A = this chain, B = another copy of it.
Amino acid sequence: MNTPVLVNGEPDGTINATDRGLQYGDGLFETLAVFDGECPWFDQHFARLSWGCDRLAIALTDKSLLWQEVAQCAADQPRAVVKVMLTRGEAGRGYRTVADGKSTRIVMRAPWPDYPAQHWQQGIRLYECHTRLGRNPALAGIKHLNRLEQVLARQEWAQDYAEGLLCDQQDHVIEGVTSNVFVVQKGELMTPDLTHCGVEGLMRNWVLRQASTVGIKTRVGHLQLSDLTQADEVFLTNSLIGLWPLREFKQQQFDVGPMYKQLFNTLIKTYPVYHA
């Protein structure tokens, strides 16, 4: 069976070349982990999509309709990745937008990425990207379709690293190419401020909330590369992987630390699907 791709509910898997999603990257996306027909973070994905629609003035789609199509794409799969894209829809030539209430809804399934269990157990090797993120508060935080920086960054390394680290044009550490980053120093949990660039990950928000709940001191602010190399522990988050501890960065070795273990254990107690 071919991978299902629904475009506004239709299974032919194509969009018109006049769609602004193609012409300008004028749209948003979400990447959902679906386990046996359940998506533990669907509400949060939809909330971020809705936030992005507000920011870009794109017409939001119906939540229950979207869920129905996500479930249809993931049917009969023990684990599946379902990618949702919502574009501003079709248009004539030119950047000018028309508030016609139309958008294009795309829902597609991809195979589950079978990462090795040691990524969770022993940690990952992290590549330092030369590609820098441009700073633009107008686009920061949301998960929009302008992703050339990530494409260029991902071209920098082969399969010998599980993830790459991105800094912005001012050499602040911002995020991984597909994840957010956390640093532990003397018991304090820190993650980069995303006011100027980066994507506000759902798992990042869960970790910040969870840490506060159990009394861990947290800080969202500017981080430098030296904050990583001098850290007691570092870990990366996204809603497909949960949390991955850092094992090696810039030829320096890291141990899987107690804060990672505590947070990961809480995650798999709440969401057993994340068990490696």
Contacts and interface: CB of A to CB of B under 8 A. Distances in A.
Interface of A: 5, 7, 13-26, 29, 56-57, 81, 83, 85, 87-88, 92-97, 106, 108, 110-111, 113, 131-136, 138-139, 144-155, 169, 177-178, 197
Nearest to A7: B17
Contacts of A81: 93
A22 B95 contact: no
A27 to B, nearest CB: 8
Contacts of A15: 14-15, 17, 22
A94 B155 CA distance: 11
Contacts of A21: 22
B17 A85 contact: yes
Nearest to A21: B22
A1 to B, nearest CB: 16
Contacts of A96: 154-155
Nearest to A6: B17
B22 A19 contact: yes
B138 A135 contact: no
A79 to B, nearest CB: 13
